[in-house]
């Protein structure tokens, strides 16, 4: 039998030439029929091929993984098959690459099933348990046998326990800094309390699993932010000019049978460990390798060796600073080093240059910062969120390469876009530089313009004034994607759609710290991140078709007219920074447009005309909706006295009803004052608590360990409410506990301890 390798018309190509010639003369009805048959045959062939793939856990479809797990006798865990979140992003953004815009899940049920036999062969060993915790939860993990850290009364003549004789080395700052932390090596007295987050660790039965939930995000060639003028020696690693801890890069373990060390987990670099790292390097005999455990080149340059897993590096005027010239210093109160030395404060993310190093150009930083998720502008992979080439007629590239056809500035790319007649265009930025520009855009009717970063980059836009959109273009579209914007967006004309995709509009516009040598600036009212005009010069309403859409983004306050089409936000943060998060234009009590929010954290009061849908949202501020006859709020937290449409399983309402019913079952019917007292008690307990409320810090708006379970597990599928619902953190912890119960040696007790 003959076969054809053609991509289409395979069956038609097998026909004799005279049959095809006659079919062409008849208008090709046979070709059309065979194409229908071929389409169904391809579907059957693909299904048969997938049946073979489903026999192997590495290539099977997600639904087949539990069945393979049943064959090896493993307990099914929560995985992607149980996630029922709607694909609203695919409906809102059909012009993106895709095909799927769902956030990737790090719940590794497939890896767990694939390594079941591997785990069982090493069952009960500490390295295996640590690897299991890392594979199942998706978090960096370190396991500690706390009974090995107990101090014992020694019998010198028999059974001498040398490991139980480690007394504190109070002369070592680095070792004492690890005391009561994950990598502590000092012996302790017994603690008979149940093992928990903060206590009960050191006991005969206990094994602790330290987990790091924050990720370390790699930044390359970032423009360090100078604190003062051209002669100032003070810099921040952050291009926003704020203090933040520098993180170490997560790296693979060198020994699969060993345990993770401090170098194998993503965590803030300790100053004591950083000091010892540089000191040990300077004690090496010449010639030295050119890198330390933390400091070294991210990319190969002439004359320097590439570090195996660097965490930070500096370039001054394009020249790399060797580790011989780097010193660990506390720069809380600043201080200039001598000659050509560089002082680095890893806990505050600051650096100071010696007088011989003051640059004529830029100081470029390579570093890692910490954050809970792939959210806002970031250097993570987001290829699916780029504009499809079939939609963008023109792609204009912006970088500092100087290659022909590229632009050095965003303004230059916008000028070329205007010269071409404003076609559907994507301006794609391919570096992490700071772009200090004034940007004004007049879109074209029925056209789209996107300013986006290339996959894996996070450029910083330090706007000189607001990004102004002008002209009356009710059906035009503007997209900001993958950007860190220090500024605000101001729609002076009319626009059809404004989209923020994986973008940060810095809450409060800027967070740069003031110069301590200058008088502090007067306090200012936070400016809105996005504002739109409600009427034109003649008093007629404009922006009636405006849709503001946010996905995996961070924004400051929104000020939009109530007659706009609406605000649509998915997996995002809207931070009011002390003022209304969403409100109208003009008067202080003006209402904003209709809103649809899914898995969003809103900080500050919300005043809108209507809430179409709010699902798994944290409204950390009073909510006031004018129309409450339509719409729904479900699985969300709302402050008491909020005015909303009908609610379903919202907090603290649900907790209040349960508390009242529980007391009524015991004591009988309650009076109104008694019910009010119970409500007040529940409201004091059930409210969101965060690890950090300040943008720019690693754990920004991450729910703290002390937050009430009604919020941390209050989403529809049992995950947390708010912007980090897609991380499925309660399910990941539950998966880990299930596996530990199966693999932990008999008689031992496991404790899960979150470090970040």
Write out pLDDT tens, residues 639-651: 999 999 999 999 9
What DSSP line would sit under 331-396, residue for residue? -TT----STT-EEEETTTTEEEE-GGG--SS-EEEEEEEEESSS-SS-SS--GGGSBPTTT-SEEE
Read off the pLDDT band of 58 (50, 70, 90). confident
Mean pLDDT of 455-484: 93
Residue predicted with more confidence, 33 or 108 = 33
Residue range 365-399, pLDDT digits in tens: 999 999 999 999 889 999 989 988 888 889 999 99
- 270: closest CA among 238, 246, 249, 236? 246
Q: Please report the pLDDT score of residue 160 as a whole number.
A: 60
Q: Please report the pLDDT score of residue 684 as a whole number.
A: 93
Highest-confidence range of 161-175, 247-261, 403-417, by mean pLDDT?
A: 403-417
- Low-confidence winner among 78-82, 160-164, 690-694 (lowest mean pLDDT): 160-164
Read off the pLDDT band of 3 (50, 70, 90). very low
Residue range 254-297, pLDDT digits in tens: 666 678 889 899 999 999 999 999 999 999 988 888 889 999 88
**Rounded percentage of the chain residues whose pLDDT exceeds 70:** 94
Q: Is the pLDDT score of 122 beyond 70? A: yes
- 368: closest CA among 553, 554, 220? 220
Mean pLDDT of 200-220: 92
Q: Please report the pLDDT score of residue 1 as a whole number.
A: 38
Q: Is the pLDDT score of 159 beyond 70? A: no
Query: What are the backbone angles phi and psi of residue 611, rounded to the nearest 5°?
Result: -110, 105
Mean pLDDT of 94-105: 80
């Amino acid at each position: 039998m003959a076969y054809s390798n053609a991509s289409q018309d395979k069956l038609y190509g097998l026909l004799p030439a005279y049959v095809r010639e006659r079919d062409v003369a008849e208008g090709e009805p046979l070709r059309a029929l065979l194409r229908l048959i071929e389409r169904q045959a391809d579907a059957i062939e693909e299904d048969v091929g997938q049946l073979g793939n489903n026999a192997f856990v590495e290539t099977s479809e997600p639904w087949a993984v539990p069945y393979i797990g049943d064959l090896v006798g493993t307990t099914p865990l929560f995985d992607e098959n149980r996630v029922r979140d709607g694909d609203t992003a695919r409906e809102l953004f059909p012009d993106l690459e895709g095909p799927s815009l769902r956030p990737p899940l790090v719940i590794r049920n497939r890896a767990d099933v694939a390594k079941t036999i591997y785990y069982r062969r090493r069952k009960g060993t500490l390295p295996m348990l640590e690897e299991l915790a890392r594979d199942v939860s998706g978090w960096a993990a370190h396991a500690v046998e706390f009974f090995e850290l107990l101090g014992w009364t020694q019998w010198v003549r028999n059974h001498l326990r040398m490991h139980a004789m480690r007394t504190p080395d109070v002369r070592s700052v680095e070792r004492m800094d690890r005391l009561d932390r994950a990598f502590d090596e000092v012996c302790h007295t017994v603690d008979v309390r149940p093992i928990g987050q903060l206590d009960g660790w050191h006991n005969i039965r206990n094994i602790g699993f330290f987990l790091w939930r924050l990720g370390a995000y790699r930044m390359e060639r970032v423009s360090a932010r100078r604190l003062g003028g051209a002669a100032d020696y003070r810099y921040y690693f952050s291009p926003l000019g704020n203090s933040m801890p520098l993180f170490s890069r997560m790296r693979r373990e060198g020994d699969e049978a060993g345990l993770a060390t401090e170098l194998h987990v993503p965590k803030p670099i300790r100053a004591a460990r950083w000091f010892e790292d540089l000191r040990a390097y300077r004690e090496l005999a010449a010639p030295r390798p050119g890198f330390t455990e933390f400091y070294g080149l991210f990319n190969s340059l002439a004359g320097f060796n590439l570090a195996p897993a660097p965490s930070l590096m500096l370039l001054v005027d394009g020249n790399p600073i060797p580790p011989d010239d780097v010193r660990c210093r506390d720069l809380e109160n600043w201080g200039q080093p001598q000659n050509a030395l560089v002082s680095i404060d890893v806990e505050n993310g600051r650096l100071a240059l010696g007088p011989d190093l003051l640059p004529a150009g830029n100081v470029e930083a390579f570093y890692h910062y910490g954050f809970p998720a792939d959210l806002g502008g970031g250097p993570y992979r987001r290829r699916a969120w780029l504009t499809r080439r079939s939609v963008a007629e023109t792609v204009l590239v912006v970088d500092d390469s100087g290659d022909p056809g590229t632009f050095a500035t965003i303004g230059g790319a916008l000028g070329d876009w205007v010269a071409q007649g404003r076609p559907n265009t994507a301006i794609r930025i391919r570096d992490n530089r700071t772009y200090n520009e004034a940007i004004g855009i007049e879109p074209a009717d029925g056209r789209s313009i996107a300013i986006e970063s290339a996959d894996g980059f996070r450029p910083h836009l330090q706007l000189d004034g607001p990004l102004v959109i002008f002209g009356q273009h009710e059906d035009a579209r503007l997209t900001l994607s993958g950007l860190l914007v220090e500024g605000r967006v101001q729609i002076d004309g009319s626009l059809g759609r404004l989209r923020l995709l994986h973008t940060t509009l810095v809450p409060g516009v800027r967070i740069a710290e003031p110069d301590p040598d200058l008088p502090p600036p007067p306090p200012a009212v936070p400016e809105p991140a996005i504002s739109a005009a409600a009427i034109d010069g003649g008093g007629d309403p404009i922006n009636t078709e405006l849709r503001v859409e946010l996905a995996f983004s961070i924004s400051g306050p929104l000020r939009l007219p109530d007659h706009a089409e609406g605000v649509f936000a998915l997996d995002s943060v809207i931070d009011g920074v002390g003022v209304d998060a969403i409100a109208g234009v003009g008067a202080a009590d003006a209402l904003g447009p209709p809103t649809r929010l899914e898995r969003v954290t809103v900080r500050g009061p919300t005043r809108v005309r209507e809430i179409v849908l709010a699902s798994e949202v944290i409204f950390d501020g009073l909510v006031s909706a004018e129309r409450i006859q339509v719409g729904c709020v479900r699985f969300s937290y709302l402050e008491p006295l909020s005015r909303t449409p009908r609610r379903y399983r919202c907090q603290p309402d649900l907790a209040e009803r349960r508390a009242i019913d529980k007391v009524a079952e015991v004591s009988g019917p309650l009076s109104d004052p008694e019910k009010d007292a119970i409500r007040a008690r529940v409201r004091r307990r059930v409210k969101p608590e965060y690890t950090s409320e300040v943008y720019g810090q690693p754990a920004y708006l991450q729910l703290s360990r002390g937050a009430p379970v009604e919020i941390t597990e209050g989403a529809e599928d049992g995950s947390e409410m708010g912007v980090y619902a897609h991380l499925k953190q309660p399910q990941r912890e539950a998966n880990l506990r299930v596996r530990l119960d199966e693999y932990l040696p008999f008689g031992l007790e496991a404790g899960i301890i979150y470090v970040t």
